[in-house]
Amino acid sequence: MRIVHIAAEMAPIAKVGGLGDVVGGLSSVLSKQKGIDISVILPKYKSLKTQYLKDLKIIKKNFKIFERSRWQVVNIYLAKVNGVQVYLIEDKKNYFSKKPKIYGYKYDVHRFLFFCKAVLEFLKADFRKIDIIHIHDWHTAVIAPLYKDIYSKNLKHKAKIVLSIHNLQYQGLCKPKDIKNLGFNGKYYLTKEKLKDPNRPKTLNLLKGGLVYSDIIIPVSENYAKEIMTKELGCNLEKITQKYKKKIKGVLNGIDQNFWRPEKDKDIKYKYSSKSSLKKFIDAKNNNKKELQKILNLDEDDKPLICSIGRLVSQKGPDLIKAAILESIKVGAQFVLLGSALDKKITNSFKKLQKDLKKNKNVSLNFEHNEKLSHKFFSAADFIIIPSLFEPCGLTQIIGFKYGVMPIVRETGGLADTVFDLDDKTISKEKRNGFTFTKFLISSQTSTLKRAINFFKKDQNEFYEIVHKNMKLDFSWEKTAKKYLTIYKKVL
């Protein structure tokens, strides 16, 4: 079976969020399976972490792509990343190769439309049979309609299209002229049955095109698969997802358990594992806590330590995170935050809070993306709080489990698929592993946070027994990849 992943990200060479983890983790595990030929195609970004590329070589020079009424040229490279064949498309238009960031430009849609056209032309010139074309989010969603309507027309063996939905909120809006710039009839797609946006009659919605034309749609958790069919979380595409519900199959993301592994983690001082004795585990956690307290200039105290790790965007509930910081101080806990914000209003709000709490030795707010520090946070923390408005999968609660951290989460998306409340008697005791709340309200979060802290203070031994047991939960890519393989085989 030949599988080609086409994406905007792939860990560890080009990663912004969970999308990169999925493409990197899933492709790496599948590459080890017998009878599977897997490759990934992505742009050759300026920021690409080239130290992870092995045997990098150019395989096509000055490959012609028609765009905006003229011929453009790209170079195509081949390399290996964790055993996976990776094709890198280098443009000469200043779309990717000279830009410092992966996303965040006004013309992102034009950049990725050009990338998708280049990919399709490359695959057409390659001639080799493909069984599965696996596309991810809006960035590569246009490949589904263009492949089905144009590029597969003369092929005896037509590939099946699999679309992964990592976040339905971002959809890729453009005009018919943007498709015309690629050399195709943009107006042809401006119909209700094709790519016409549900709320903007003159606009094309690239993600909608992926939903309509793909053979299988895979949201990144089972619960998120249900949520994208609701008005609340359907992001104005709920009628489309409801229409195509028979081809929607949610699969929970995995994590790289060799990378997120406290017994081998080079970024933490005191190692431990699920096989450590309870005493060794508790000692290591406490020592890592003291180490982090020194680094962040916090009081060296045996208070419960709560962490928040991730982007400070509206989806993540920044107002609830701020409320959690203030409540933690009230209930005698410490709070450490590691996160970056692009929104000025959110940034200024957290900077003000940081200024107000400048002299408080129980709070540390760190506005950056820092991989090494995140490992230290996980190794030291007792709790991780994730009060998201919506969360397609969520990885920090899963990483938290592997590091003996108890999640406090809002029940949504993948959080609801992985975290089960310790006080919920309707769930078997064996399955309960954290604290949850349902309403996206500060009051709901506050009462849950108090329950968590009270539980910690009442019986630390029982707390550590539970989080130690949680470390054995299996969220490996090996487990997840089996589900993907089953879906691939079924669609063929």
Residues 270-279: pLDDT tens digits?
Answer: 999 999 999 9
Count CB-CB contacts under 10 A for residue 431: 8
Structure tokens at 113: 């439309």
**Residue 329: predicted pLDDT:** 96
Q: How far apart are CA 116 and CA 114, in angstroms?
A: 5
- The three-state DSSP-derived secondary structure of 408-465 is EEECCHHHHHHCCECCCCCCCCCCCCEEEECCCCHHHHHHHHHHHHHHHHHCHHHHHH
In the chain, pLDDT over 70 holds for what percent of residues? 100
Among 138, 153, 202, 171, CA closest to 189: 202
pLDDT tens-place string over residues 42-59: 999 999 999 999 999 999
**In the chain, what are the domains?**
2-254+478-491 (3.40.50.2000), 278-475 (3.40.50.2000)
pLDDT value for 233: 96
pLDDT for residue 132 = 98
| Per-residue model confidence (pLDDT) at position 437 | 98
Average pLDDT estimate for 217-245: 97
Dist CA 215 CA 488 (whole Å): 10
Indicate the SS3 state at residue 340.
Answer: coil
Q: Give pLDDT, residue 253.
A: 94
pLDDT category, 16, cuts 50, 70, 90? confident
User: At 457, is the pLDDT very low, low, confident or very high (cuts 50, 70, 90)?
Assistant: very high
pLDDT digits (tens, 9 = 90+) for 62-81: 999 999 889 999 999 999 99
CB neighbourhood size of 290 (10 A): 16
Is residue 181 within 8 Å of 68, Cβ to Cβ? yes
Radius of gyration of the chain (CA): 23
How many angstroms separate the Cα of 2 from the Cα of each of 27, 36, 157, 405, 407?
12, 6, 12, 39, 38
Check whether 179 has a pLDDT greater than 90: yes
The predicted structure's pLDDT at residue 17: 81
Q: Is the Cβ–Cβ distance between 7 and 63 less than 8 Å?
A: no
Those residues whose C-beta lies under 8 Å from the C-beta of residue 139, and which sit 6 or more positions away, are 7, 8, 112, 115, 172
Tens digits of residue pLDDT in 187-214: 999 999 999 999 999 999 999 999 999 9
Q: How confident is the model at residue 340 (pLDDT cuts 50, 70, 90)?
A: confident
Amino acid at 150: I
| 361-405: pLDDT as tens digits | 999 999 998 989 999 999 999 999 999 999 999 999 999 999 999
pLDDT per position as a tens digit, 252-293: 999 988 889 999 999 999 999 999 999 999 999 999 999 999
Q: Say if residues 267 and 278 touch (Cβ distance below 8 Å).
A: no
pLDDT at 342 over 80: no
Given this model, what pLDDT does residue 240 score?
98
Q: For residue 445, what pLDDT is reported? A: 98
Residues 18-37 have a mean pLDDT of: 94
Q: What average pLDDT does the structure give for the chain? A: 96
* 133-146 pLDDT, tens digit each: 999 999 999 999 99
How confident is the model over 83-118, as pLDDT tens digits?
A: 999 999 999 888 999 899 999 899 999 999 999 999
Q: What is the pLDDT of residues 293-326, one digit of tens each?
A: 999 999 999 999 999 999 899 999 999 999 999 9
Q: What's the number of CA atoms in the CB half-sphere (13 Å) around residue 87?
A: 22
